Amino acid sequence: MSKAIGEGRLVAAAVLSGNRNFEGRVNPDVKANYLASPPLVVAYALAGTTDIDLATEPLGSGADGRPVFLRDIWPSQQEVAALEATITGEMFAASYANVFRGQPRVERDFRSERGPVRVPDDSTYIQDPPFFRALTLKPEEPQDLRGAQILAVLGTR
């Protein structure tokens, strides 16, 4: 895939549901990253492309060969409300009771009594985002802006 992207000068795309949709998160060759709700991530995955109008184009075909649209699989407001009514605080308490416990390897590699989490360079589990690489603990002193120009003046009379 990397070779095809490079040789064809293609723009590969990904649709993510988290707030980590920076360039290189999915793969260094994926330049177009879009943020969407988890159900829309699934819809784009079913369609197999981001070059689709989910409101008017089918995601694919059903077993009977007929087109399947997002509106066919998207839950109604009533279905969502019925499911929401079953959610309790106890569910969250049970789900998150052990949130800081992980697999033994993860605990060994990422937890330290000595300080912040240390991410091994060869980790396939987690990587620092590219914009953290030049980040220092002490911020730089603010600098004067020179040569800046006003792009727009808004809200004045």
Strand 60-61 and strand 67-68: the pairing is antiparallel
Q: Is the pTM of this model over 0.75?
A: no
Lookup: tokens for 58? 């089918």
In sequence order, the 6+-apart residues with CB closer than 8 A to the CB of 73 are 43, 59
Regarding predicted confidence, which is higher, 14 or 20?
A: 14
Residue 95 pLDDT:
85
pLDDT higher than threshold 90 for residue 51 = yes
The DSSP letter of residue 60 is: E
Assess contact for 54 and 40: CB atoms under 8 A: yes
pLDDT, tens digit (0-9, with 9 covering 90-100), for 64-73: 999 999 999 9
Q: Collapse the DSSP code of 15 into the 3-class scheme (helix H, G, I; strand E, B; otherwise coil) and give the result.
A: strand
Residue 130 pLDDT:
73
CA atoms within 13 A on the CB side of 12: 17
Q: How many CB atoms lie within 10 A of CB 40?
A: 16
Q: Which amino acid is at 37?
A: S
Assess contact for 38 and 45: CB atoms under 8 A: no
State which of 39-53, 106-120, 142-156 shows the largest mean pLDDT: 39-53
For the chain, the domains span: 36-118
Out of 59-63, 67-71, 100-104, 150-154, pick the least confident: 100-104
Residue 75 pLDDT:
92
Assess contact for 30 and 13: CB atoms under 8 A: yes
Residue 1 pLDDT:
84
Q: Which residue has the tokens 């912040």?
A: 116
pLDDT higher than threshold 90 for residue 44 = yes
In the chain, DSSP finds a helix count (H) and a strand count (E) of 6, 4
Q: Collapse the DSSP code of 81 into the 3-class scheme (helix H, G, I; strand E, B; otherwise coil) and give the result.
A: helix
Share of the chain above pLDDT 70, in %: 81
pLDDT higher than threshold 60 for residue 110 = no
Residue 129 pLDDT:
73
